[in-house]
Structure formats: structure tokens, C-alpha cells
Structure 1
């Protein structure tokens, strides 16, 4: 199976360590979300994958062998900064780029028609790139990454500047490419999209991979939480739960009549039922639901340089009821 491997890659710019022993892979038919704060090293890693930058150490492999110049011709790359020639017409530029990847003129023209139509810019093939809106330039940039039928897709912030309709179109295209067996990696700050689209996610901080796995794996926590809607002043419930070993409780953010209870690591699983019993002893409980952190919460917790001494409760606005 086709796999893109980033193996112990490091890169420094003077005293700045941009990548520090970065290791992960992107598998055939997989959409991989590559997330991190600005300056975390995502773009540097992608440029090394493409050979635009050279790593100080480590390697990038495709199907078990070093990703050389010939193999890189089979990669579809979408840079964060648009890499299009603004004075060229859309169709001419895409045909030119397809030709650089070894396609014949006929193959290139057919591919350009296919992808510009698919991405909703078929009527703009005769327009100069500089005359397009930012969203349409982004669609053309994706067409440039797809036009040569790449074996792997590497996309840096592909959803930036897109309206909701364009986001849906691009999401569908990425799913189609993955369904065809293409490994797809993209970076994005739009974590709701990452959570919705990706099979696995890697979170990078200061050039290091600090969290890696499926969404379900990443959302599994050693600090389970429960939301209780007590329908009244929660002070009595808070006082009662303060007596439960290993449990901290607070008023849920944005829910003045709800309590968010958090168990410490290693607390027995049955403590959730104890939380409910103690709350019912005070009064009626209208809602009792486990909550798990969403990707945005995970990102905040992993990337933040500061960590509270107390367990961080997940705000219901950013959490999902466990299923």
C-alpha cells in the first residue's frame, strides 16, 4: 500500500529548531490532518516533503524508498501562499503545470477542463488569475495540485478564504481522492473541518509531534467529565460533590444551572454513578451526560505553553456528548 513516511526529520534555522525529530506517516486512502499553532513547523515539514527544503537529518520516504525528484513529480502540492502566476490565464497556466508533470498537451487540456469544471471555475479558464476572487484563486490552486492525477496530496491551508459552498466542494474532492487510495495530508486552523474530515490527526508543537491518532483516540481522556443540569441554584450540588473523592466540580460555563464534574486520573469508572447519586440527593437532575473534548479543546490543551494546576474542565460549548 502507498504510504508517505516522515522519519525522524529535523530542521534548524540558525538557533531556531523548526522541526525536532518529527516522525509520522500518511497511509493510502487516508486523510491526515496536520495541525498546530503558527510557527509550529507545519509548512517547513511540508516543504521538506516536496524537496523545496532539505532536512538537516531524517528522511522522507514514499512506498519505502527515499522520495527523490522523480517521485516528487507524482505529488500534488498546494502551498499556503498562492503559487500561481497572476498574469497568466487560468487554463493556460494549468496546462503548463500539467505539462511540467509529464502530461501530453491533449492529456493536459482534458485534465484542466475536468478539474476546473469539478471545482466550479470552468467558466474562468480564460481569465487572468489576478482578476479572480481570493476564493476562486484558491480553487484554481487546488486544480493545480490535482491536474496531473497525483499519487499523494500535500495541502497547506487549503480551506483558507473559502465560502461554505467552496468548503463543501473541496471537502468532497479530498474524500474522493482518499477513496481512490491517495494519501492526503492537509494543514488547517479550521479544527471543525479537521475533525469532520480526517481519519487521523497529528498535533505539532515547536517542531515536535505531541499528539497523534484518530479523533476517537485523541478524545479519550483519563479525566472523564459529566454535565448535570440541576435546574436550580447549583451550590448544594457543588457542596455535595466536594465530598466525593477524586472529583472536582464547578458551574458549567454558560450554563448557570448546570454543573460540570471532572474525575481525577485513576478514579474508578463507577464514580460517575456516584456523582449522579449525590446530585439526586440534593434535588432533581434534568440532564446527566458524559462529555468528551472536541479537537479544539485538545488543541488548546496540547499547544498551550501554560497548564493550570487544576484539571481543565471542558466547556459544553466546545464539547460533545459521548456516544
Structure 2
């Protein structure tokens, strides 16, 4: 890798990370994006359905929105390294070492900074003045699965749901949120023989209830056996699991980020900065304001403007 110091390394190429990087690029700074996936777009890249909630892209599926995100990154000339999984992030605070690294990278004409971040990934490392965590979330697995895969047990939304053949099959859906109810309706429309929902607590919007038989919605505790594909002793051809999300923070443990009880990164409401100065967390990994594509993009702007302010203060010598 070329020895260069980026103004910000953004971890994650979803709507939040892309928004932050594009804004930084247009503001005249040098961002770089790292993402473990094979394509940009985050969760949107795996959503084959129309996203009616995204008012900026009427009629487009999540996959098509991901294509637009890539176009924005290309247009802003933001370098993106895909299939690169972050292993560790170190904080460099020794002034002498920082000066050596800046000179070695040819950045010695830029104003001095108090710290640098070295991001390690897949046998490489890069330096940055700031780090933006936009690594998103992943589907939460039920404890019964123990992170193992079982035939005809589908966890979380995505292409594996849209491509599945539900016709003439008995379907069980585990979970009480919007995703659970929406996908239950999807299976029903795809010709499922029956669809039962099992939810310890129902949190879904009321509008979904009208499309489902009330007798098919079972609330309270239940017993799920993934190997036998049974729920409360009733056998099903396929079981879909929607237990919500969990923050993806693998490789970032060394930073010591403060997290909420649910595992999301705590951030400052006005800047998206974490408890670690110089590290920002945006989008669904921080579970900020009503997480979705639109609010994630807004988060990216918040972090980009906060970083702009810090960089310009450094340039003017206003940071001690």
C-alpha cells in the first residue's frame, strides 16, 4: 500500500459511510473506505425489494440504490477497498513518531496533529487522522442455532428469502418486529400453504396485522428446535428467523469504544464522535435517530462536517 496519511478512513461502504466519504471528498479532504463485502451499499446491496421509504429513490430496489451509491463514490473519486476486513486499529500519540510518519508519507507540509490512527486489514495497514466507524449491523442469530447453519432455516432478510420457493410449504416465522411480519406476508403471497408467526413480544406496525390471520400469530414463550424444524412441537418445512440486529464491531476491540446495553456505539448527538476522540460512529452501528438509509446518510454528513471543523482548526493552529 502507498505510504500516505488519509484525512479519514471510513470503515464501511453502506449509505452512512459512503455519505461521509463523499461529503469529505467534496469538502476538499482525502477519505478512503474499507469494506469487508464484495460490493458497496451495505444492507441495501442485498435487498431485492423496492424501498418505498427512501423518498430520494422512488421505484428503486435496495440493490439499485447500492448501484447509485457506487456512482456517487466514483463521481467523488473516493478510493474504496473491498473485501478488506479490519483486524485492528491502533492509536499513535507520540509526537516524534507522528512527525516521522507524516514526513515518510510526504504529508509533512500539512499541519501537525495530536494523533494518528493505524488501521490494519488483511495483512496491510494505512494511516489516517480520523476514523469513521460505519460498519453497520448483522442479523442477530437465535441461541438455538449457535451460529450454525441448518437446512431451510433462514436468518434475517435478503436474497436468500426472495429466491426461496415457498409454494405449498408450511412456514414458521420467529420474531415480532416489522421484518418478521413483512416477510410472513411475502411468504404468504408466494403461495405458502400456511404461515405461523411466533413472537415473545409483538412490536410490528399495526398495518401488517390486517394481512394475516390472527389465529396464526402466537405470542409468548416458545421452543424452537432448528434441527427438527419444530416450534412448540409443530413441524414446518421452513423457518424464518428475524431477531433484529447487532452491531458489527469485529476488529475494533482495541479502540475501547463505549457501547449501549444493546451493543450499539455511543456517540455525541451533535457530532457523532465516540468516547475516543477522533473516532466517529455513524449509521446503524450507532443506532442513532430512527436507523434507515436516510438517517444513515444524514449521519454521514454530521460526521463529515465535524471532521471538517477539526481539520480546519488544526490548519489554523486552533487545537492545542
* TM-score where L is the length of structure 2: 0.24
Higher relative contact order, structure no. (Cα contacts within 8 Å, ≥ 6 residues apart): 2
TM-score by length of 1: 0.24
Larger Rg: 1
